[in-house]
Amino acid sequence: MSQYLTLPFGKYKGLTVSQLKNDLPYVKWLLNQPWLSDKVDPKLQIALQGLLPQEDFTEQSFLEVFRKNYPHTAIEELQEIALDNRRISRLSTDIVSEKIKILKLAKNQISKIEGLERLRNLQLLDLSNNKIAVIENLHYLGKLKQLYLNGNCINKIENMEFLRGIEFLSLGKNKIKVIENLEQLPYLRSIELYPNPLQFITMKSYQFLQANRIRMYLGKSYKKKRGENLRIDEHGQAYKEVDAFIQKFQINILNDARTLNFGKYKNQPFQLLQNDKPYVRWLLDQDWIENKLSLMEIAQLRKSLCAR
């Protein structure tokens, strides 16, 4: 009876799955969105997949798709490769090229960053709108200047210390709550972090962004409020300076660098935990909590439950 499930949003809101069979391009687009699993029941996803031919779900590596689209071209001959929206599910290992400077793989189904170690001259990498959860395996890309990771499932800004040439970083439409580790990017000039469920910024990142007057871009999805003061760059893109950005989105500056080493907030700031009162209540009821937190930290958690 899955064909009678209804879509809870979008242009076909309220219609059954079977009524979408005349718009398969939309079904394909929908199934490629990284946020879909957060919005719909798994049964609905399976029903949508049932509308498409089985070959649409065959896993394909980057190299497999490259060979199909460039059958008579060696990968080492190209300076730019664009394979957006090709259902690539994984990055192949041992991609070797000294010439590739631009690699665009947006709107695919890639869940892990890997296999880019030998693209030493890469300057622009676009992995936006995929299914990536962790920023990793980029430490060989020292010449990278632009990195697009917007529209993924990333919840932490990390593993950036070797990307010292980065000038622009796009991380909008992820699950990031803490702005951190940006001080590791000395040549950063602009960043896009909207939208994200941002709550905190570390003191080091705040001081770095402020001292270097980093532009905080808002992206195309941002809707300007009446009377709101925005800065516009030479390309017509809207941005704010860091103080205006953190004020607008009510982001708190973290003075305390303590991080947790366990649980759902592992490697996250202690202050972030205090905002999750149901989890704090559960935590304080556990017998083992005194082995994980100091008495002062436990007292702070109890105090946070009393705060409005």
Whether the pTM exceeds 0.85: the reply is no
Q: Note the CATH number of domain 60-253.
A: 3.80.10.10
Rounded to an integer, the average pLDDT of 257-265 is: 83
Residues 146-198 have pLDDT tens digits of: 999 999 999 999 999 999 999 999 999 999 999 999 999 999 999 999 999 99
Rounded to an integer, the average pLDDT of 19-41 is: 78
Residues 298-307 have pLDDT tens digits of: 888 888 888 7
What is the token pair recorded at 230? Answer: 């925005």
Give me the DSSP letters along 92-157: PS----SS--EEE--SS---S--S-TT-TT--EEE--SS------S-TT-TT--EEE--SS-----
Query: According to the model, what pLDDT value does residue 59 have?
Result: 63
Residues 56-99 have pLDDT tens digits of: 545 688 888 888 877 778 888 889 999 998 889 988 756 778 89
Query: According to the model, what pLDDT value does residue 1 have?
Result: 47
Q: How many helices (H) and strands (E) does the chain have?
A: 10, 14
Q: Count CA atoms within 13 Å of residue 221 on its CB side.
A: 9
CB neighbours of residue 91 within 10 Å: 22
Q: Scan for tokens 């303590």, then name that residue.
A: 258
The domain spans of the chain are 2-57, 60-253, 258-306
Kindly report which listed range (10-19, 118-127, 204-213) carries the lowest average pLDDT score: 10-19
Q: Report which residue type is found at 189.
A: R
